[in-house]
């Protein structure tokens, strides 16, 4: 299970040949015709910054095909706008430092809204200065002082330091190239039926909102419910939302998670068949892989690369899949200029993987991050042999069910602790604790649970729970009118996690007229207590609360027949 590798037995040439056999037999999945979104940019540009930066930048951009140049400068500077040519419409507006901090910029290439908001009024600068609804592209030369900062700026929003001479020419060339029509893949698909974000007016899971560095995901408040929306024009394919989503409601499309998992398992099986030993799955971006090839880098034979659009497109579920399918290790190759939230997300995912490996009796060193320039760490032989040489089949279509199968395989191959172990805050693992004295089995929790974790007892008044399906969204806890439910975070490393058990059950209350069981004893008692002073149930009418729905209606009609004016007394 966790045996040390005998280094002398590893043949790198044979491993390299096995890896090449894998590449020839099985291609990494890709969507050949993905859905696209299209940007339309006419070239109306906005430049923001000090006059000493903006004016020379504007001079360098003149005559290069932009429809107009609008300059927002924070001071007069040593240059003057009059010194600029007039090959295209050019407008300059001076802003104070306070006004610069009041700029509110939203949108993307071809559709930027730029507003000056002082708290009392809002001014649309594009409408005021160039008589258009918005700007097409923005060159921000004041990022150090401007409060409008994106961790991952939207397409068409270019941040540069004018004093950085070595990057100036390339940046300006890229900037003037942002005129025309541009297609970009729609990286994701959303299944709202699986989403654990909101129900009955309560907010539950926000994991996708928390990890998106492009701020492309929003919680949209409806009349009653809130729902998740992803702006395809802002989304830049980081993929962390799909890995963070515990139910599979958001799925990456280049390729889909299921196809990635199936390919990983198939690769490892083909590698073994070709005589390869000690395979290490390295998750790496296409750009990093291309850069290595351009630099002539040849990785060790046991390194099998899983190329991603971005590292966020594979989380700990994918990494553990590789281990359960026979990889000796999983390595995640970091790259330069990663958004801070992506870095934090990967660190958190590694922490979750380590917690699960610890709980299931495996060495946490099987999953590790590889720093940018760490070629030794990249190519090092794994310290441990693979956990298995048996293929892994994941027939289930649901993300959580597939993950549970992976965890079951790892439990079989390890030595589970049998205890509940701590997991990083926000991890989608845990149970619930039900206060039997407070629970009335109203099943509001069941109707609000986005997964099959909570179920009613059918004809028997009961509440059952399956921990393997619980994603710790908290919707059951919020929906409970009796505050009888408490979340219990942590991963239970035992078979009990996959066994449904009864949280609370009661005897049924039978209708006093027909004998039909229609509620629980505690529910009837609670309702009678809460409606004791309601005029509709005054006097003898209180007995209706002990009747089923059919008998209750019959009793109302009998009363109206005996006393037609009775309903007017309510």
DSSP-derived pairing of the beta strands 157-159 and 137-140: parallel
pLDDT at residue number 253:
84
| Buried-state track 510-535, b at ≥16 Cβ within 10 A, e below 16 | ebebeeeebbbebbbebbeeebeeee
Question: What pLDDT does 172 receive?
Answer: 95
CATH 3.60.15.10 fits 421-505, yes or no: no
What is the pLDDT at residue 542?
87
| Residue count of the chain | 570
Q: Domain 38-183, what fold? A: Rossmann fold (3.40.50)
Say whether 547 sits in a helix, a strand or coil.
Answer: coil
pLDDT tens-place string over residues 167-202: 899 999 999 999 999 999 999 999 999 999 999 889
Contacts of 281 (CB under 8 A, 6+ apart): 264, 267, 268, 304, 306, 319, 322, 327, 329, 330, 331
- 407 Cβ contact list (under 8 Å, min separation 6): 320, 356, 360
Q: What is the pLDDT of residue 270?
A: 96
- The answer to whether 217 and 347 have CB atoms below 8 angstroms apart is no
Q: Which two tokens stand for residue 133?
A: 């609804």
- Confidence (pTM): 0.88
pLDDT in tens, the chain (570 residues): 567 766 557 889 999 999 999 999 999 988 767 789 999 999 999 999 999 999 999 999 999 999 999 999 987 665 555 556 556 678 999 988 888 888 899 999 999 999 998 878 899 999 999 999 999 999 999 876 665 678 899 999 999 988 888 889 999 999 999 999 999 999 999 999 999 999 988 999 999 999 999 999 999 988 778 999 999 999 999 999 999 999 999 998 888 889 999 999 999 999 999 999 999 999 999 999 999 999 999 999 999 999 999 999 999 999 999 999 999 999 999 999 899 999 999 999 999 999 999 999 999 999 999 999 899 999 999 999 999 999 999 999 999 999 999 999 999 999 999 999 999 999 999 999 999 999 989 899 999 999 999 999 877 889 999 999 999 999 999 999 999 999 999 999 999 999 999 999 988 888 999 988 888 887 888 888 888 888 777 777 788 889 998 998 898 888 788 777 665 554
Parallel, antiparallel, or unpaired: how do β-strands 454-456 and 491-492 relate?
Answer: unpaired
pLDDT for the residue 119: 79
Among the listed residues 287, 285, 180, 185, the one whose alpha carbon sits nearest the alpha carbon of residue 235: 185
* Domain spanning 186-252, CATH class: alpha beta
pLDDT of residue 309: 92
Please state, in angstroms and rounded to a whole number, the distance separating the CA atoms of residues 305 and 308.
9
Where are the chain's structural domains?
Answer: 12-30+264-387+398-416, 38-183, 186-252, 421-505, 508-562
38-183 and 421-505 in the same fold: no
From the list 407, 392, 260, the residue with the least C-alpha distance to 326 is 392
Task: Give yes or no for a contact between 546 and 512, defined as CB atoms under 8 angstroms apart.
Answer: yes
**Residue 296 region by backbone torsions, left for phi larger than 0, else alpha for psi between -120 and 50, else beta:** left
Note the pLDDT of residue 98.
85
- Please tell me whether the peptide bond between 327 and the residue prior to it is cis, using omega within 30 degrees of 0: no
What phi-psi label fits residue 530: left (phi over 0), alpha (psi between -120 and 50 degrees) or beta?
A: alpha
- Residue 73 sits at the vertex; the CA angle it makes with 72 and 79, to the nearest 5 degrees, is 125
Integer Cα distance of 123 and 244 in angstroms? 38
Per-residue confidence (pLDDT) for residue 75, from 0 to 100: 75
């Amino acid at each position: 299970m966790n045996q040390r590798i005998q280094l002398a037995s590893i043949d790198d040439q044979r491993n390299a040949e096995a890896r090449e056999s894998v590449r020839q037999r099985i291609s990494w999945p890709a969507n050949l015709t993905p859905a696209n979104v299209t940007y339309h940019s006419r070239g109306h540009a906005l430049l923001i910054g000090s006059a000493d930066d903006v004016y020379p930048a504007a001079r360098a951009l003149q005559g290069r095909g932009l429809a107009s140049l609008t300059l927002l400068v924070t001071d007069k500077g040593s240059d003057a706008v009059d010194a600029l040519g007039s090959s295209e419409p050019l407008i300059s507006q001076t802003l104070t430092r306070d006004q610069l901090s009041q700029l509110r910029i939203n949108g993307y290439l071809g559709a930027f809204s730029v507003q000056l908001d002082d708290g009392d009024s809002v001014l649309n600068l594009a409408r005021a200065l160039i008589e258009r609804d918005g700007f097409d592209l923005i060159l921000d030369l004041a990022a150090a002082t401007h409060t409008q900062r994106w961790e991952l700026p939207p397409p068409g929003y270019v941040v540069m330091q004018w004093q950085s001479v070595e990057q100036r020419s390339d940046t300006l060339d890229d900037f003037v190239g942002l005129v025309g029509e541009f297609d970009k893949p729609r990286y994701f698909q959303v299944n709202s039926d699986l989403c654990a974000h909101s129900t009955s007016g309560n907010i539950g899971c926000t994991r996708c909102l928390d990890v998106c560095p492009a701020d492309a995901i929003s919680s949209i408040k409806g009349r009653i419910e809130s729902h998740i929306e992803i702006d395809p024009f802002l989304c830049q394919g980081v993929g962390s939302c799909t890995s963070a989503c515990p139910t599979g409601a958001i799925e990456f499309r280049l390729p889909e998670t299921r196809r990635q998992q199936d390919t990983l398992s198939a690769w490892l099986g083909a590698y073994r068949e070709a005589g390869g030993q000690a395979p290490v799955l390295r998750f790496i971006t296409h750009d990093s892989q291309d850069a290595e090839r351009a630099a002539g880098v040849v990785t060790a034979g046991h390194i099998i690369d899983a190329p991603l659009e971005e590292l966020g497109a594979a989380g700990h579920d994918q990494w553990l899949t590789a281990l359960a399918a026979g990889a000796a290790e999983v390595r995640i190759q970091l790259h330069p200029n990663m958004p801070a939230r992506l870095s934090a997300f990967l660190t958190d995912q590694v922490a979750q993987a380590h917690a699960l490996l610890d709980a299931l009796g495996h060495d946490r060193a099987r999953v590790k991050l590889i720093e940018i320039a760490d070629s030794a760490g990249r190519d090092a032989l794994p310290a441990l042999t693979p956990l298995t040489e048996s293929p892994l089949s994941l027939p289930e279509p649901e993300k959580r069910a597939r993950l549970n199968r992976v965890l079951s395989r790892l439990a079989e191959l390890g030595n589970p602790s049998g205890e509940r172990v701590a997991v990083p805050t926000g991890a989608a693992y845990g149970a619930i604790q039900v206060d039997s004295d407070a629970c009335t089995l109203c099943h509001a929790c069941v109707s609000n649970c986005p997964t099959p974790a909570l179920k009613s007892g059918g004809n028997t008044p009961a509440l059952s729970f399956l921990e393997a399906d619980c994603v710790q969204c908290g919707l059951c806890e919020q929906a409970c009118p009796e505050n009888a439910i408490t979340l219990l975070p942590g991963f239970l490393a035992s078979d009990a996690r996959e066994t449904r058990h009864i949280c609370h059950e009661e005897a049924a209350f039978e209708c006093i007229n027909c004998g039909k069981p229609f509620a629980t004893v505690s529910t009837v008692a609670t309702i009678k207590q809460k409606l004791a002073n309601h005029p509709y149930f005054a006097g003898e009418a209180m007995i209706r609360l002990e009747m089923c729905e059919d008998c209750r209606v019959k009793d109302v009609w009998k009363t109206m027949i005996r006393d037609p004016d009775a309903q007017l007394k309510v």
